[in-house]
C-alpha cells in the first residue's frame, strides 16, 4: 500500500469520512473547480506533471502517463481540467447515457473504510449525451490552447451506457444516440456493458447481443467523427473465464481497439468489514483493493488470448505505483483507478507517476 499524504488523511478522517460519501465527493469536486478558477491548478500542474519518460503510445494516441482516472468520477465532464492538473495521463468521463437520468435513489454510495473499498449503486446519474457534448466541446477547445502553450493535457475518453428506461431491445439505438453525439469529442470511446446497477445491462455482454452492438457503435463512431475513434468494451470481473475468452475473441473478430477490465463486482467475498454491515448496505458494485486479485487474473487471461496490438486497460483495486507497475508487467497498456483516489487524496496520482518514473 502506498503511504497517503498525512494532510489529506487528517482531512479524510476529520471531515470527509464523517460526511455522506456522495456529499464528500461533491465537496471535493467543487474544491477542485474553485482551485481551477483561482488559478491554483496551474501551480498544481507544475508539481504533478508526469515525467516525460512516462509517455505511453496506445490506441494511436500519446498518453502523458500510462495511469488514468477510471469512469464514474466525472460522469458529466464537469471537472476535466482541474482533474487534469493532478497529473492523470487520461481521464475517462461517463458513463453517459443517451437521455439524461437521475440515477437510483440516495443513499447509493457507501464506504467500507476498513477495506478502503466502496459500494455504489449510482445507476448512471448523468445529464445525457447532448449536455455532456457541449461541456466537452468547451473543455476541448481550452485543452487545445493548453497544448499549444506546452501544458499538460491528458487524453479524454468517453464511456457510454444504456439509458435505464430504454428496454434492452432498444439498446443498440440508444447507444447509437450517445455515439453520434459524443464520438466527435472523444479521444477514445468505451461501450460499458458491465455496470451492475442498470437492470439487464450485463446481459449485453452475451456474445450474441454484444456483436451487433459493438459493430454498430464502431461504424457510427467513425462516421460521426470523420476519423477512426478507438473503441473499447468494458467488462465485469464477474464473467466466467470462458465468457472472458469469448469477449476477447469477439474483440479480435470485430477488430476493436481494446478491452477495459474490470468494472466493479457484485461479489462480497474477501472483505474485512463485518458481513452484517455489508449486507445492510444492499445491492451495488464493490470496488477497491478487494477487487485487485480478480482484476489481475482477468488481465492475465485477456493478455494470453489477445494479440499484442489489442489494448488492455487494467482497472480494479490499484493502490500504489507497485500495483500499476505489476499490471503493466502483465501486459496492460494502460491502467486506471478510482476508489483509492477517494482514500488517498489529490496527490495520489503524483505519487503513482513518481513511483513509476523511478522504475523506468
Ligand atoms: C462511485 C463509483 C461510480 C462508478 N461509475 C462508473 C461508471 O459510471 N461507469 C463505469 O464504467 N464504471 C464506473 N465505476 C467503476 C470504475 O470505473 C472502476 O472500474 C471500478 O471502480 C474498479 O476500479 P477501482 O477499484 O480502482 O475503483 C464506478 C466506480 C465507483 C466507485
Element (H, E) at 185: none
Q: Give the Cα separation of 313 and 216 in Å (integer).
A: 22
Q: Does the C-beta of 159 come closer than 6 Å to ligand 1?
A: yes
pLDDT tens track of the chain, all 360 residues? 445 577 777 777 777 777 889 998 888 899 999 999 999 989 999 999 999 999 999 999 999 999 999 999 999 999 999 999 999 999 999 999 999 999 999 999 999 999 999 999 999 999 999 999 999 999 999 999 999 999 999 999 999 999 999 999 999 999 999 999 999 999 999 999 999 999 889 999 889 999 999 999 999 999 999 999 999 999 999 999 999 999 999 999 999 999 999 999 999 999 999 999 999 999 999 999 999 999 999 999 999 999 999 999 999 999 999 999 999 999 999 999 999 999 999 899 999 999 999 998
Residue 74 annotated as part of some ligand binding site? yes
Alpha carbon of 340 to ligand 1 centroid (Å): 11
Q: Does the C-beta of 284 come closer than 6 Å to ligand 1?
A: no
Residue 68 annotated as part of some ligand binding site? no
Alpha carbon of 344 to ligand 1 centroid (Å): 16
Q: Give the Cα separation of 296 and 301 in Å (integer).
A: 9
- Please name the residue whose Cα sits nearest to atom 4 of ligand 1: 72
Q: Give the Cα separation of 350 and 221 in Å (integer).
A: 33
Q: Residue 187 contacts by C-beta under 8 Å, 6 or more apart in sequence?
A: 59, 61, 90, 155, 156, 157, 230
Number of Cβ within a 10 Å radius of residue 285: 23
Confidence (pLDDT) at 2 = 45
What number of H helices and E strands is found in the chain?
13, 13
User: To 10 degrees, what angle do helices 292-305 and 321-329 make?
Assistant: 20
Residue 126 annotated as part of some ligand binding site? no
Q: Residue 346 contacts by C-beta under 8 Å, 6 or more apart in sequence?
A: 5, 8, 32, 44, 86
- Alpha helices in 38-122, H assignment, sequence order: 40-48, 80-84
Pocket test for ligand 1, best of 266, 338, 339, 342 (most atoms within 8 A of CB): 338
Residue 67, classed as helix, strand or coil, is: strand
Q: Give the Cα separation of 319 and 335 in Å (integer).
A: 11
Residue 151 burial (CB < 10 Å; 0-12/13-18/19+)?
A: middle
Rg, the chain, Cα only:
19
Confidence (pLDDT) at 24 = 87
Q: Does the C-beta of 260 come closer than 6 Å to ligand 1?
A: no
Pocket test for ligand 1, best of 263, 266, 284 (most atoms within 8 A of CB): 263
Q: What is 6-359's CATH number, 3.40.50.1970, 3.30.70.890, 3.40.50.1100, 3.20.20.70?
A: 3.20.20.70
Residue 350 annotated as part of some ligand binding site? no
Nearest CA to 110 among 248, 260, 235, 264?
A: 264
Residue 235, classed as helix, strand or coil, is: strand
Q: Does the C-beta of 70 come closer than 6 Å to ligand 1?
A: yes
Q: Does the C-beta of 205 come closer than 6 Å to ligand 1?
A: no
Number of Cβ within a 10 Å radius of residue 309: 10
Alpha carbon of 150 to ligand 1 centroid (Å): 31
Alpha carbon of 67 to ligand 1 centroid (Å): 15
Alpha carbon of 288 to ligand 1 centroid (Å): 9
Q: Does the C-beta of 237 come closer than 6 Å to ligand 1?
A: no
Residue 14 appears among annotated catalytic residues: no
Confidence (pLDDT) at 4 = 59
- Please name the residue whose Cα sits nearest to atom 7 of ligand 1: 72
Among 195, 287, 295, 340, the active-site one is: 195
Lookup: cell for 215: 459493430
Lookup: cell for 346: 489529490
Q: Give the Cα separation of 215 and 133 in Å (integer).
A: 22
Residue 241 annotated as part of some ligand binding site? no
Lookup: cell for 288: 477497491
The CA-CA-CA angle for residues 206, 290, 336, to 5°, reads 70
- Give the torsion through C-alpha atoms of 221, 227, 228, 234, to 10 deg: -40
Q: Does the C-beta of 317 come closer than 6 Å to ligand 1?
A: yes
Q: Does the C-beta of 291 come closer than 6 Å to ligand 1?
A: yes
Contact yes or no for 329/356 (Cβ under 8 A): no
Nearest CA to 191 among 162, 219, 227, 156?
A: 162
Residue 360, classed as helix, strand or coil, is: coil
Q: Does the C-beta of 97 come closer than 6 Å to ligand 1?
A: no
Contact yes or no for 341/2 (Cβ under 8 A): no
Residue 263 annotated as part of some ligand binding site? yes
Lookup: cell for 148: 499549444
Amino acid at each position: 500500500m502506498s503511504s497517503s499524504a498525512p494532510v489529506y488523511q487528517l482531512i479524510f478522517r476529520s471531515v470527509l469520512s464523517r460526511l455522506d460519501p456522495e456529499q464528500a465527493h461533491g465537496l471535493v469536486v467543487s474544491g477542485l473547480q474553485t482551485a481551477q478558477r483561482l488559478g491554483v491548478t496551474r501551480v498544481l500542474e507544475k508539481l504533478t506533471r508526469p515525467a516525460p519518460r512516462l509517455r505511453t503510445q496506445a490506441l494511436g494516441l500519446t498518453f502523458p502517463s500510462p495511469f488514468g482516472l477510471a469512469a464514474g468520477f466525472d460522469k458529466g465532464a464537469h471537472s476535466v481540467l482541474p482533474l487534469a492538473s493532478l497529473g492523470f495521463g487520461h481521464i475517462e468521463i461517463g458513463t453517459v447515457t443517451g437521455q439524461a437520468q437521475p440515477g437510483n435513489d440516495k443513499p447509493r454510495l457507501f464506504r467500507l473504510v476498513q477495506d478502503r473499498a466502496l459500494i455504489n449503486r449510482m445507476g448512471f446519474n448523468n445529464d445525457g449525451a447532448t449536455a455532456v457534448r457541449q461541456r466537452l466541446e468547451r473543455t476541448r477547445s481550452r485543452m487545445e490552447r493548453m497544448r499549444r502553450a506546452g501544458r499538460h493535457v491528458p487524453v479524454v475518453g468517453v464511456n457510454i451506457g444504456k439509458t435505464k428506461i430504454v428496454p434492452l431491445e432498444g439498446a443498440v439505438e440508444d447507444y447509437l444516440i450517445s455515439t453520434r453525439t459524443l464520438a466527435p469529442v472523444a479521444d477514445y470511446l468505451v461501450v460499458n456493458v458491465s455496470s451492475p446497477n442498470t437492470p439487464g445491462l450485463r446481459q449485453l455482454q452475451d456474445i450474441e447481443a454484444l456483436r451487433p452492438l459493438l459493430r454498430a457503435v464502431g461504424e457510427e463512431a467513425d462516421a460521426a467523427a470523420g476519423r477512426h475513434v478507438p473503441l473499447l468494451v468494458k467488462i465485469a470481473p464477474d464473467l466466467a473465464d470462458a465468457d472472458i475468452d469469448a469477449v476477447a475473441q469477439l474483440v479480435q473478430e470485430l477488430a476493436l481497439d481494446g478491452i477495459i477490465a474490470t468494472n466493479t463486482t457484485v461479489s462480497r467475498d474477501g472483505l474485512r468489514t463485518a458481513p452484517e454491515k455489508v449486507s445492510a448496505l444492499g445491492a451495488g458494485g464493490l470496488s477497491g483493493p478487494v477487487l485487485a486479485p480478480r482484476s489481475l487474473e482477468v488481465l492475465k487471461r485477456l493478455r494470453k488470448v489477445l494479440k499484442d496490438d489489442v489494448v488492455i486497460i487494467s482497472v480494479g483495486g490499484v493502490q500504489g505505483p507497485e500495483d500499476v507497475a505489476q499490471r503493466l508487467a502483465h501486459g496492460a497498456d494502460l491502467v486506471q483507478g478510482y476508489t483509492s483516489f477517494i482514500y488517498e487524496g489529490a496527490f495520489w496520482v503524483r505519487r503513482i507517476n513518481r513511483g513509476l518514473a523511478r522504475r523506468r
